[in-house]
Chain A
Amino acid sequence: MKTKSKAAKISVRLRSASARQAKRAVAASTHAVVPLKERRLNFGNQWDFAPAPEDSRNYVIAPRHELFINGKFVTPKSGKYFESVNPATEQPLTTIAAANAEDVDSAVKAARKAYDKVWSRMPGRERGKYLYRIARIIQEKARELAVLETMDGGKPIKESRDVDLPLVAAHFFYYAGWADKLKYAFPGKTPSPLGVAGQIIPWNFPLLMAAWKIAPALACGNTVVLKPAETTSITALRLAQIFQEAELPDGVVNIVTGAGETGAALVNHPDLDKIAFTGSTEVGKVIARTIAGRSAGLRPGSTSGGLNRAGSESGAPRLTLELGGKAANILFEDAPLDQAIEGVIAGIYFNQGHVCCAGSRLFVQEGIYSSVIKKLRDRIQTLRVGNPLDKNTDIGAINSKPQLDKIKMLVQSGIDEGAKLTQTQCVLPSKGYWFPPTFLTGVTQAHRVATEEIFGPVLSVMTFRTPEEAFERANHIPYGLSAGVWTDKGSKIFKMVNQLRAGVVWANTYNKFDPASPFGGYKESGFGREGGLQGLAAYCRLD
């Protein structure tokens, strides 16, 4: 029986092989044949759009940005300023104050005073109204903020305009409504504010991360000292102007700009009740260690926080961390393939891959591997890389030179370790920091590109056979921020959602965000949640 079917198969193969040969002979007589493997969709110049840049002339960026402390813009005691450049042109945009420990101290003191005198005493309803006001002003200035965000950070205008800014406003709206309803958020507990929160945010979603941090903190009655990333401080300082316009009481939010030293000064400040950090796992661990060191010798106390990941003894600040990721995007054979390819593209190339939850590891079920690779190869070719202010741009500039160097270094390590590189053939602008959409095949679980966060438009493609293999390999790294699953079978989705050790799982979609939806990691991707009901817990004391 077995032999017979084998023989039958061979004869079929022979027949079809000879048929193919015959076809080829006919084709060769009419025109040159491109071997199947090398055949590409030829778009020609069909995809060359006319330039459509967003007008930025009406938005003036002041040549110098000061610190925002106690409701006013003040010159730094450090006397130092640093340059902020547009990563798409390498042109300087402005200079920004570099806060030292003394400046940070003034900011914390202002926040403490505002907490004691004003904000913690204010009824929740009134706090909420300030947040609503802020949300409205953000909506009104959304276009300006989007343009600034794009100029300062390099992200495409269609993303800052259509994703970042609507979410920023929505976040303030969402938490505004919680301010007078906190007693319903925690059954059996009485919530109260923690005090002064030190918040450090990254450069990939500058304004959105500011909103994620500031809105819930203020809703719960805390005051804030925020440190934006040094390459993307402009919109945070523009937000400070919005706070002024909203007449937010002085000192409720203070913004100290600067690089790592400023962040360290903030983390080390002895008068913080809460530290919230979004950034790399490496720095997150340093912060966790710093706080642990500080709590040594303090009186131990019960820090049952439940949701809020108390993390430290009384006397030391509470901590929430939102850190790196290396998300698995898992593509099953029964997935809606074209939809899935779009999801894979959105998962890794959104915001140049500068996304902690980016779907940077693609696991493809073996049966569809070759067609997925072909589709990916053709799809990335259509991604438009270039001027971030152009409304048609898909991929903007890499945020900074050091980040570009890191991406290049890791991609080179992938090639050195045996992975095969596929990149778009697009022409990159001569000035600025750019990296074309890239994917690597032939990646193994041990490669650096399969385990380390690249934080760029680089996808590592691997294969799997069974669902068990997929989730085991997906879970087999220290990160656990997010994951994606693509299949048309509902029960398989729930099985995968249950098994994946990640804080956010997108099924048949990717990179979706909403203020009502909690976000945060498992394992070394951090602890605590931002967004939603669960996100409130990070800023409340529960008694």
Chain B
Amino acid sequence: MNRLDIKKTYKLYIGGKFPRSESGRCLPAKSPAGEHLDNFAHASRKDFRDAVVAARAAVGGWGKASAYNRGQILYRAAEMLQNRAAELVAEIARSINVSPAKAKREVTLAIDRLVHFAGWTDKYSQVFGSVNPVASSYFNFTTPEPTGVVVVLAPDEPSLLALVSLVAPVILSGNAAVVLASETFPLPAATFAEILATSDLPGGVVNMLTGKRAELVPHIATHMDVNAIVNGVGDSEISAKLQAGVATNLKRYANHSATDWFSAKVEDPYWILDTVEFKTAWHPVGI
């Protein structure tokens, strides 16, 4: 007699915990052939709100952690990803119906991206900060620092690689992210959240929501406690809605939607600067 596989319902990842949607809703994840794979949580406006609260709570500690420490933790996340690469390869392969070889390419590249960006934590402020030679007797310097809570909208494909490429430059500077995963292929993102939970990343630094974009975008755009939005979704209607909303509290907005996610161009340290603020300090020089 054949053993019956158990089905799983993938949950949200908020503040280091895995809650179901407060709405009680879930959606079926289907393979391209229409086969029912598993269920995943259908996040509501309130789940998004909870995720922002968790991110806000996390941003203080994470933003003030040493750059060295943040780099160590991101590298640790890459280690965990390496460890469970096979699991993610299988998840991508069955979700998107690509060959295991192609899925493996995506996962290994995601690992390398994390390693790459992990190294930027303690370097980007040296490359982009400055000591400014003012024409008066003052010591004057400019340093980048995290803007705060950032919402990242991941595109549908490549569901893991794009998400990792968008999230890494956001959190490495000390921001906390609320990530809205691929709507069509959410399972790799949900699995990635489970991997992050077992890395040393403090709870709330990355929060993962799955569900329907159109439903959440208006709330994301107008939420008053979100500092920035990084939009990786290549949809002009969603972009327009986000941009119309960001003016309410002048969120920073970056759009990376037309990117070839497998290209080396994505490893762009200038993406870090989309979610930092430059602070300039003055102090008199004298006795």
Give the B-binding residues of A (Cβ under 8 A): 170, 186-189, 281, 284-286, 288-289, 291-293, 295-307, 309-313, 321, 323, 478, 493, 497-498, 501-509, 512, 514, 516-520, 522-524, 526-527, 529, 532-534, 542
In the complex, what residues of A have CB within 8 A of residue B128's CB?
A: 307, 534
Partner of A507, one of B246, B250, B282: B282
Q: A292-B243, A507-B283, A532-B142 are in contact. Are A514 and B135 (CB under 8 A)?
A: yes
Name the 8 nearest CB pairs between A and B, nearest first: A306-B270, A296-B240, A292-B243, A306-B273, A514-B134, A288-B247, A289-B247, A516-B132
Partner of A532, one of B130, B248, B268: B130
Q: Are A312 and B278 in touch, CB under 8 angstroms?
A: no
Is the C-beta of B97 less than 8 angstroms from some C-beta in chain A? no
Q: Which of B31-39, B210-218, B255-263 contacts A (4 or more CB under 8 A)?
A: B255-263
In the complex, what residues of B have CB within 8 A of residue A302's CB?
A: 255-259
In the complex, what residues of B have CB within 8 A of residue A281's CB?
A: 250
Partner of B270, one of A286, A304, A505, A532: A304
Is the C-beta of B191 less than 8 angstroms from some C-beta in chain A? no
Q: Are A524 and B236 in touch, CB under 8 angstroms?
A: no
In the complex, what residues of A have CB within 8 A of residue B249's CB?
A: 478, 523-524
Task: Identify the closest chain B residue to A187 (Cβ).
Answer: B127
A284–B249 alpha-carbon span in the complex (Å):
10
The distance from the CB of B217 to the nearest CB of chain A, in whole angstroms, is: 13
1/0 per position for B135-153, CB-CB distance to A under 8 A?
Answer: 1101010100101000000
In the complex, what residues of A have CB within 8 A of residue B254's CB?
A: 303-305, 310
Is the C-beta of B274 less than 8 angstroms from some C-beta in chain A? yes
Q: Are A300 and B239 in touch, CB under 8 angstroms?
A: yes
Partner of B240, one of A187, A295, A497, A507: A295
A160–B240 alpha-carbon span in the complex (Å):
43
Q: A300-B235, A301-B257, A307-B128 are in contact. Are A534 and B252 (CB under 8 A)?
A: no
Q: Are B142 and A508 in touch, CB under 8 angstroms?
A: no
Q: A285-B250, A321-B250, A514-B132 are in contact. Are A523 and B227 (CB under 8 A)?
A: yes
In the complex, what residues of A have CB within 8 A of residue B272's CB?
A: 306
In the complex, what residues of A have CB within 8 A of residue B140's CB?
A: 514, 516-517
Q: Are B132 and A532 in touch, CB under 8 angstroms?
A: yes
Q: A296-B240, A313-B236 are in contact. List 9 more A-B contacts (CB 8 A).
A: A187-B127, A293-B240, A300-B258, A306-B273, A321-B250, A509-B283, A516-B135, A523-B250, A532-B132
The distance from the CB of A167 to the nearest CB of chain B, in whole angstroms, is: 9
The distance from the CB of B113 to the nearest CB of chain A, in whole angstroms, is: 15
Task: Identify the closest chain A residue to B268 (Cβ).
Answer: A304
Q: Are A517 and B134 in touch, CB under 8 angstroms?
A: yes
Partner of A293, one of B64, B244, B271: B244
Task: Identify the closest chain B residue to A286 (Cβ).
Answer: B247
The distance from the CB of A183 to the nearest CB of chain B, in whole angstroms, is: 15
Is the C-beta of B192 less than 8 angstroms from some C-beta in chain A? no
Q: Are A288 and B246 in touch, CB under 8 angstroms?
A: yes
In the complex, what residues of B have CB within 8 A of residue A311's CB?
A: 252-253
The distance from the CB of B135 to the nearest CB of chain A, in whole angstroms, is: 6
Q: Are B274 and A295 in touch, CB under 8 angstroms?
A: no
Partner of A284, one of B127, B236, B250: B250
In the complex, what residues of B have CB within 8 A of residue A532's CB?
A: 130, 132, 142, 280
Q: A292-B246, A301-B257 are in contact. Are A542 and B270 (CB under 8 A)?
A: yes
Q: Are A300 and B236 in touch, CB under 8 angstroms?
A: yes
Q: List 17 A-B contacts (CB under 8 A).
A: A170-B135, A291-B243, A295-B239, A296-B237, A296-B243, A299-B236, A302-B256, A306-B273, A312-B255, A478-B249, A505-B282, A514-B135, A514-B140, A516-B133, A517-B280, A519-B280, A534-B128
The distance from the CB of B51 to the nearest CB of chain A, in whole angstroms, is: 20
- Kindly state the interface size class of chain B when it binds its partner: 35 or more
Give the A-binding residues of B (Cβ under 8 A): 64, 127-128, 130, 132-136, 138, 140, 142, 145, 147, 227, 234-237, 239-240, 243-244, 246-250, 252-259, 268-274, 277-284
In the complex, what residues of B have CB within 8 A of residue A516's CB?
A: 132-135, 140
In the complex, what residues of B have CB within 8 A of residue A502's CB?
A: 279
In the complex, what residues of B have CB within 8 A of residue A188's CB?
A: 269
Task: Identify the closest chain A residue to B134 (Cβ).
Answer: A514
Find the residue from B128, B132, B255, B284 having the highest chain A CB count within 10 A: B255
Q: Are B258 and A503 in touch, CB under 8 angstroms?
A: no
Task: Identify the closest chain A residue to B64 (Cβ).
Answer: A498
A333–B232 alpha-carbon span in the complex (Å):
49
A115–B127 alpha-carbon span in the complex (Å):
31
Find the residue from B244, B256, B283 having the highest chain A CB count within 10 A: B283
A101–B284 alpha-carbon span in the complex (Å):
47
In the complex, what residues of A have CB within 8 A of residue B247's CB?
A: 285-286, 288-289, 292
In the complex, what residues of B have CB within 8 A of residue A285's CB?
A: 247-248, 250
In the complex, what residues of B have CB within 8 A of residue A522's CB?
A: 147, 277, 279
Find the residue from B140, B142, B227, B235 having the highest chain A CB count within 10 A: B142
Find the residue from B145, B234, B273 having the highest chain A CB count within 10 A: B273
In the complex, what residues of A have CB within 8 A of residue B268's CB?
A: 304, 306
The distance from the CB of B194 to the nearest CB of chain A, in whole angstroms, is: 30
A70–B283 alpha-carbon span in the complex (Å):
44
A505–B281 alpha-carbon span in the complex (Å):
5
A493–B283 alpha-carbon span in the complex (Å):
9
In the complex, what residues of A have CB within 8 A of residue B256's CB?
A: 302-304
A243–B271 alpha-carbon span in the complex (Å):
37
In the complex, what residues of B have CB within 8 A of residue A519's CB?
A: 280
In the complex, what residues of A have CB within 8 A of residue B274's CB?
A: 304-306, 309-310
A321–B227 alpha-carbon span in the complex (Å):
15
Task: Identify the closest chain B residue to A170 (Cβ).
Answer: B135
Find the residue from B135, B248, B249, B271 having the highest chain A CB count within 10 A: B135
The distance from the CB of A437 to the nearest CB of chain B, in whole angstroms, is: 24
